[in-house]
Structure formats: C-alpha cells, structure tokens
A and B are shown apart, each in its own frame.
Chain A
C-alpha cells in the first residue's frame, strides 16, 4: 500500500518534469482539474469527475486531487458538459479535501 503510493508520487513527479520540459498543460497529462475563479460570481472547473453534492449553498465536485468544495449562496450550475462545469452565484469559499 505504502510502496504503491510512493510509486505513484514518483511517477507523477516524473510526469510533472516531463510536461515542464515539453510545455504540455498538466491538466491534460495528469488529469488534474483546472479551476478558474472569476471574481466572486463564477467558478469554472475543467477535468472534474462528477458532482457529489449539489445544493444552493454547497457544491462538491470530485476531481483527481480530491473533492473540491464550493460554498456560497444562490449557487447554480451555469453549464455542465463533459468534464467541464461552470458554477454561478455568490461564491464565498473554495476548499480542496484531499482524499
């Protein structure tokens, strides 16, 4: 179990170096999410792995790094298509819960 984890981190570090050399966007190579926060009103998440919870005060989204928790009020899903989700509303907090 432990060795497995170190192996995967070593692999990831190696991929990070690789992508750095070849200028490949890491979200493409590693499958990590790319999050764009526009002011207080909009949060765009690319490369997510599904919605875990959706209410008007809290939206939890699963990603490769863990759960991304968006809190606020009057939260809405502006659009959802493939691995991309846009959250609109009064966003007060974004938190990453490592799995």
Chain B
C-alpha cells in the first residue's frame, strides 16, 4: 500500500461500525494499517475494546486479521445505500410490488388513453370521436396498432362537413385536429349584385356565368374590388327593359374567379420543460404548416409550390415565432348584393 496516501472514499459506499475486543489492540491497528485498511473515528472506550468505523468492503480482510490473533469482531451499525437496498430486497412483496408497478407503467404507456378533438364548430365533436373510434383510435387503443393516415381518411370520408383532419399522438394523448368546410352564403339567385374579391390576389382564370368580367388574368386585385359586374350594358335592350320596369339595371352576377393568393399562419410556441429549443422549433414548424393547410382546405384552395417558413426565436419571452406562407389557387369570388 502506498504510504502517506489519503484515502479517497467512494460515494454511496456507506460504512460499518465494528466493535473489536481482545488484547493488544494497538497491534490490531498496526496490522490494519499494514494491510491497507482505512479506519476512522477510532475510539477506545475500554482497555480491551475498540470501536472503529470502516468501509463495508474491508470487512472480509478485517475478519482475516482478527482471526490471526483472536480478536473478536462485532458489527454495531451499518449505513449506506447498499445496506438499505439489501434490506429492501429482502422484503419479497415489496420487490414484487415495485416490479409489478414497472410492468403496469410500461403496459399503460403502450396505449392511447385520451382523445381530444380540436377545430370543431358546427360538427359535433362526439361524431368525430365516433368516426375515429371506428377507425381504431379510441381510449385504450394500442399505439402501435394505430394507423394515423387511415384514421384521418376515415374521418374525412365519414363526415362531409370536414375537409381536413390531422391526428397527432403525444404520449398517451391523441389530438384530432379538423377543419370544417366553410358554407357558402345562400343568396337568392335573382338578387342583383356583383362578384367581388373576397381577398387580395392575382387573377389566374375567370369563368363568367352571368354578368361580364371586369378583370383579366394577370391583374392584381384588392379585397372588395368588383370582378364580375352585374351591371347591364348601358343602352342595351335588357338595360332599357329593366329601367322601364322600374328596377335597377343589374342582374345577379355569377361565375368563378380563380386567383393566386397567399395563405399565412403564425404561431408562438415555447419549449416544454423536457424539450430542447431545436425540438420545439421543429414542432412549431409542423404545427404552423398544419394550420396553413387547414386554412386552405377550409376554402378548398389548392396549394402551389412549396410553403415558405420563417422561424424567429424570441429570447426574452422564450418562444418561437413561426410564420408559414403558402401560395394557393382559390376562387376568390364573393357575391355582393346591390340593394335597391
């Protein structure tokens, strides 16, 4: 053993307190030092008795030394993790309980226990849940058996009013996000009026059913601008007939105006305690893309090209600000009645 070496103690090793009885206890201490045992808190309460603290690992060696000269050993106290563990392991039902708890925990983690529906307004959430359950997503379903694509398709097929659905499973919680179809406003087809732009865009194609087009493909239009006019051509027979009948010289304009527009979605998301900043960004980006897709689906827009993503980390409020822009083609025509 290296002399003059201060002993490094292993953490969590614990210690034992041993009572040593016999003659010539100085010799006992010297033998221990020779063998490289580390003893501390050595006290001698009586001439023939020593109390020493030592590492549990050294006890075997100590017993060997004690046997040589007839010293009697008696362990007074044990402390340390290994002793606690050994004592716990001796309790069979405790070990069995811990084992069972682990198995139950694992078994429970294999299932989906909560199913949420987001984005429903007119449609009953229970109906969505029912459709999902039929497709295999219900509380208690095995996660490994779950086919998200199939569930999404089944929901869309099962309910006419839903135009988009996404299933996300996080842990034991599944979230179904849906988008409802926007209902067209019911307007009397004999009501006079124009088709105006519901939003800004670049005109792609116009099909006029009634009235006459006032914009051409390639033109940029602002929200509210007239696209298909319901005004009859001044001086024409129909125009004069309307005036004679004492009505405004308008008809019910109708048609389809396809335009290129931008869909935008912005979200703010802060990382969860267990999540890295980068993981949070990836999650935010996929969420914002889903949102923009839902917006387009709700208006039956068809996307053009790839989306544009912009992610900014805000150090002060600890959030990701993610913006998604996606170009799409959509009918921007909206009927605007002209009231007499």
Residues of A at under 8 Å CB distance from B? 27, 46-47, 50-56, 76-85
Contact = CB atoms under 8 A, between A and B. Distances in A.
A79 B3 contact: no
Nearest to A84: B4
Contact of B3 (A53, A80, A83): A83
B1 A82 contact: yes
Contact of A50 (B33, B41, B43): B33
A54 B29 contact: yes
22 contacts: A46-B4, A52-B26, A54-B25, A54-B26, A56-B43, A56-B44, A76-B41, A76-B43, A76-B44, A77-B39, A77-B40, A77-B42, A78-B40, A79-B7, A80-B29, A80-B38, A80-B40, A80-B42, A81-B7, A81-B37, A81-B39, A82-B1
Contact of A80 (B5, B32, B43, B44): B32
Given A77-B39, A79-B38, A81-B39, A54 B3 contact: no
A84 to B, nearest CB: 6
A82 B4 contact: yes
Contacts of B36: 81-82
Contacts of B126: none
Contact of B6 (A55, A56, A76, A84): A84
B4 A83 contact: yes
A55 B29 CA distance: 13
Contacts of B1: 82
A99 B251 CA distance: 131
Contacts of A50: 26, 30, 33
Interface in B1-24: 1-7
A84 B36 CA distance: 11
Contacts of B5: 81-82, 84
Given A80-B42, A84-B6, 13 more contacts: A51-B26, A55-B44, A76-B43, A78-B40, A78-B41, A79-B7, A79-B38, A79-B39, A79-B40, A81-B33, A82-B3, A83-B3, A84-B4
Contacts of B25: 54
Contacts of A76: 41-44
A12 B4 CA distance: 21
B29 A51 contact: yes
B187 to A, nearest CB: 96
